[in-house]
Amino acid sequence: MNTSYPLVIESGLFTLLLAVFLLGLVRRRADDLLAGWVTLVGLAGLTLAAWSAEPGRVALEGSFVLDELSLFGKRLFLLSGLLSVLATLAMTHPSFRRRGTEYYVVFLASLLGMLVLASARDLIVLFVAFELMSIPLYFLTGFLKGEDAAPEGAMKFFLIGSISSAVILYGLSFVYGAAGTTNMAAIPPAVAVGDPLMLLGLGLMLGGLGFKIAAVPFHMWVPDTYEAANTPFVAWISIAPKAAGFVAILRLYVEGVGEAAVLWVPLIATLAAVSIVAGNLMAIPQKNIKRLLAYSGVAHIGYLLLGLAAMSVSGVGMVLFYLVAYLFGNMGAFFVVQAVNGAEQSDDVEAYRGLARRSPMLALSLLLFLLSLGGIPFMAGFWAKLFVFWAAIEQGMYLLAFLGAVLTVVALYYYLVVARRMYIEDPAVPTPIPVPAPLMVAIGGCLAGIIVMGVYPEPWVQAFLRVALTLFSTN
C-alpha cells in the first residue's frame, strides 16, 4: 500500500464503507455476519496501515495534516472501533442481526468522521468532520428501536448533541470573524494578543465541546444514553467520541498557542474539579452497572481535564496516556457487562452475585478492569492517574491534585462494591456464563492492554511525550 498519500487511511475506510453498503444491497435477507466479518477484516487492515503510516505530510493546502497527534487519534479510533466490532459480532439479538448491515455502514461513517477530525486544521473540515462523527451516533443509539428505552435514549442524546453542535458552530463563527480565515493556523496569534471576539468564540466552543466529552455540568445525557444503547456501541462511545473531543481541544487551544494557552487554565481546572467530584459522588448510589460506569466515566473525563489543565508537555502527554489506558479498562469492563447481560438479560449490579463461582475468568477480568479504572498499582490506570497528578503538581496545582487523589478513594469504593458482589456473595444460579468467541477475544485484547501498559509503561510514555512535544514546538 502506498502510504505516501496523506488521505490513504480515510480513502480506505470510505471504500470499506461502500463495500459493506453494497454487500447489504446484494444480500438483502442474508444473515448479517458476513457484513460484520468484512467490517472487522477491513478495520484490522486499516489499523495496521495506520500503525505503519509516517507523520509529516499535509494535503488540501494545509487543511488536512498527517502529524503525530492525528496519527495518535487515528490509531486510537481504529483500535477502539475494531474492538467494538469484535464485540458486536457476538450480538445475538434477532432484530439486531436482521438489520446488521445498516449498523456497520453507519458505524463506519461515524468512524470516518473521527479520522478526518483527527487531521483537521481548517474550521470547515473540523465542523464537517465533527458532524459526520456525531449524527450517526444518534442513529446508532436508537438502533434497537423495538426496545422501550432506545428511542428515549436516542432522543435525549440527539437534543443535547444538536444544541451543543449549535453552540460550537456559534463559537466557530466568532473564531472565523476574528481570524478572517478558516485556517486554524490564524488562531494562536489572535489568542496571543487577546482579541475579544476570538476569546468569546473559543469560550463558546469550549462549552460545546464540554457537552461532547461529557464534562460536568454538561454530562446529563451520558447515563441515559449508555443505559438505552446496545453494549458494544456504548463501549465505543464511552471512549472514541470523547478522545475525538480531546483531539479537537488540543488542536484549538494548545497547538502552537504556547504561553498564551495558560489563559484557559482556570476554566479547564474548574471543569476538571467539578467533573471529578460530581462524577464520583453520583456513581455511588447507582444500581445499574452501565449507569455506574457512565458516571465513573464522567469522573475519568475530569482526570483527563486535570492533565490538560497543566498545559505542559508532560500534562498533554499524560492525557494521551490516560486516554489509551481508559480505552482498554473501560471497553473491557463494558464487554464483560455485555457477556453477563447475554446470560442474565439484566444490567443490574445484583446480577453479578457470585460471578466468581459461576465464571471465574470473567469475574477476574472484570475485577482487573475495575482495578485499572480505580488506579491500583501495576495496572494501566494506576500510571495514568499518577502521571496526570504529577503533571498537575509540576505546575503547582497541589489542591487540584489532592482533590483528585481523595476522590480516587471514593471511586475505589464503588468499584469494590461490584467486586464484593462477584467474590463474596453466593450466586442465585450456579451455571457458568457462556462467552461467545469474538467477545472473548475482545476481552482478552483489553486485558493484554491494561497489563502491558501497567507493567511496562516506559515506551508508551516516551511515545506520547513525543506527540505532546510536537504540539508545543510548532511556531
Kindly list the residues in this chain that would bind another protein in the complex (CB under 8 A): 123-124, 127-128, 131, 135, 138-139, 142, 145, 148-149, 151-156, 158-159, 162-163, 165-167, 169-170, 172-174, 176-177, 180-182, 223-224, 227-228, 285-288, 291
C-alpha distance across the termini of the chain, in Å: 33
Least Cβ distance, residue 229 to another protein (angstroms): 11
Which of these, 171, 321, 189, lies nearest to 246 by C-alpha position?
321
CB-nearer residue toward another protein: 135 or 433:
135
Q: Which is nearer to another protein, 104 or 176 (CB)?
A: 176
Integer angstrom CA distances of residue 182 from 187, 195, 254, 439: 9, 16, 17, 44
- Our CB check for another protein shows the closer of 111 and 272 to be 111
Nearer to another protein, 165 or 275 (CB): 165
- Of 223 and 454, CB closest to another protein: 223
Q: Which H or E run includes 58?
A: strand 57-59
* Closest distance of CB 288 from another protein, Å: 7
Q: Is the peptide bond before 217 cis (omega within 30 degrees of 0)?
A: yes
Taking the C-alpha atoms of residue 351 and residue 290, their distance in angstroms, rounded to an integer, is 12
Angle CA(388)–CA(389)–CA(394) in degrees, nearest 5?
Answer: 95
The whole-angstrom separation of Cα 5 and Cα 337 is 41
CB of 166 to another protein, least distance (A): 4
Angstrom distance (rounded) from CA 245 to CA 259: 22
Minimal distance in Å, beta carbon 281 to another protein? Answer: 14
User: Between residues 231 and 372, which has the closer beta carbon with respect to another protein?
Assistant: 231
Closest separation in Å from C-beta 145 to another protein: 6
Q: Nearest approach, Cβ of 254 to another protein (angstroms)?
A: 23
Closest CB to another protein among 47 and 162? 162
Judged by DSSP in three states, 397 sits in coil
As a whole number of angstroms, the distance between CA 227 and CA 96 comes to 17
Can you tell me the distance from the alpha carbon of 112 to that of 129, in angstroms, rounded to the nearest whole number? 8
Minimum distance of another protein from residue 115's CB (angstroms) = 18
Considering beta carbons, is residue 130 or 236 the nearer one to another protein?
Answer: 130
The rounded distance, in Å, linking the Cα atoms of 49 and 312 is 30
Please give the grid coordinates belonging to residue 14. Answer: 470510505
- What is the residue whose three cell numbers read 483527527? 118
Q: Which lies closer to another protein via its Cβ, residue 148 or residue 458?
A: 148
Q: Which helix (H) or strand (E) holds 59?
A: strand 57-59
- Output the smallest distance, CB 196 to another protein, in A: 12
Q: How far is CA 245 from the centre of its chain?
A: 8
Structure-block grid coordinates of residue 468: 505532546
Angle at 428 between CA 422 and CA 433, to 5 degrees: 65
CB of 152 to another protein, least distance (A): 5
Q: Report residue 276 as a C-alpha cell.
A: 471529578
Q: Which is nearer to another protein, 99 or 145 (CB)?
A: 145
| Least Å from the CB of residue 68 to another protein | 27
Distance in angstroms (rounded) separating the CA atoms of residues 330 and 236:
9
